[in-house]
Structure 1
Amino acid sequence: MKDLVETTIASKLVYEGKILNLRVDQVTLPNGREGSREVVEFSQAVAVVAVKEDNKVLLVKQYRYPVGEVLMELPAGKMDQDENPEQCALRELQEETGYKPRSIQKICDFYTTPGFSSERMHLFLATGLTEGEQSPDEDEFVKVEEVPFDQAIQMIFEGKIQDGKTIAGLLAVEKKYR
């Protein structure tokens, strides 16, 4: 595999933001030539497939400015600096939906868009849910939807669910646990 590895020659931070950084790296390519790579640095994140006793999955509707649309998504968010993935999953589920699980288990983790971003997503399944009160961040506006699990799967193929982490999460649970 060493014949595929690119080696960093130089790195320049172009933008430092509140939730992400952008850097441009000069690299030596496997063929010995030089190239340029633009990298979005982003913290790790979590997404939670929360399934109620009645087999309904909790989804949130949220306006996503970069795409200019309201999307239907799994509860999710970025990890704080001192958080582990499970702590973050529990926090995000409660903040966005108000629910707390009796059981939470990690399904998998994956890179969301490794062609330009370092973001690593940790995916969890939450069950035994107890309803509580939402406490979203002050700049976060979400509406919780309870959707029968089979209908959520169908919504993927109808183009009604277009968010990548949500598609991956629902299909992973469908394959592994159903």
Structure 2
Amino acid sequence: MNDPLHEEQLTSEPVFQGRLLNVFRDEVRLPDGKSGVREYIKHPGAVLVIPVCDDGRLIFERQFRYPLHRAFLELPAGKLDPDEDILACARRELQEETGYEGDDWRHLGVMHPCIGYSNERIEIFLAKGLTHVGHAWDEGEFLEIVYLTLDEARAAVFDGRITDSKTITALFWAERELGKA
């Protein structure tokens, strides 16, 4: 079935090639037959983990995010390496950032955080059966680990302590999966 809103790529030009992001400028044919320009970022994709402790608390991290010049409270997440399996990435990121490994993993869904200017996707996982084995932070990575109940996390969204969109989206999944919806 043809989507009447589809925009067909006519040309594509790389504008910037970076370590994390690649920026492109495409000329497209619009649904009315005219042409337009679309600038966007290609991103390798990422994962987010909702780690659930045996006592029901969730593991968050507090991390400084340079573009906004402040620390944010967020669920563990990280970028996919080239050709990396999404579950392998989720396991790696959980251990590296929080120091925990999980025995029970479930893929919950996907989110697209920046649909207006990026093809980034974030695969959401739930991890239970956690065991602390020690973190393995990347060079130059500094984090604080924070434990919150689902109710505390919800309150943190509504009082402005959690503003990260991937974390807010994942908390919807957590509420459903943990019986709080």
- What TM-score, normalized by structure 1, do the two folds share? 0.97
What is the 5 A alignment of 1:1-16? Answer: 1-16=2-17
Amino acid at match of 2:138: D
In structure 1, stretches of 5+ residues that fail to align are none
- Counterpart of 1:55 in structure 2 is 56
**Is the Cα contact below 8 Å between 1:155 and 1:161 reproduced in 2?**
yes
What is the 5 A alignment of 1:16-165? Answer: 16-165=17-166
Deviation (angstroms), 1:69:
1.4
Between the aligned residues of both structures, percent identity stands at: 39
For residues 24 and 98 of structure 2, what CA distance do their matches in structure 1 show?
Answer: 34
Deviation (angstroms), 1:167:
0.4
Q: Secondary structure at the match of 1:4?
A: coil
For residues 155 and 175 of structure 2, what CA distance do their matches in structure 1 show?
Answer: 11
**Is the Cα contact below 8 Å between 1:15 and 1:22 reproduced in 2?**
yes
- Residues 128-171 of structure 1 show CA distances to partners (whole Å, capped at 9, x for unaligned) of 10012111110211111111221011111111100011001112
Deviation (angstroms), 1:26:
0.6
- What number of residue pairs does the alignment pair up? 178
Deviation (angstroms), 1:176:
3.3
- Residues 47-88 of structure 1 show CA distances to partners (whole Å, capped at 9, x for unaligned) of 000010111110000000111110001100011113111000
For residues 47 and 22 of structure 1, what CA distance do their matches in structure 2 show?
Answer: 23
**Is the Cα contact below 8 Å between 1:51 and 1:58 reproduced in 2?**
yes
- Residues 82-111 of structure 1 show CA distances to partners (whole Å, capped at 9, x for unaligned) of 311100000000000000011011010121
For the aligned residue pairs, the C-alpha RMSD in angstroms reads 1.0
In structure 2, stretches of 5+ residues that fail to align are none
Deviation (angstroms), 1:2:
2.2
Amino acid at match of 2:83: D
Amino acid at match of 2:9: T
Deviation (angstroms), 1:32:
1.0
With 121-130 and 105-114 compared, the bigger mean Cα shift is at 105-114
Amino acid at match of 2:5: L
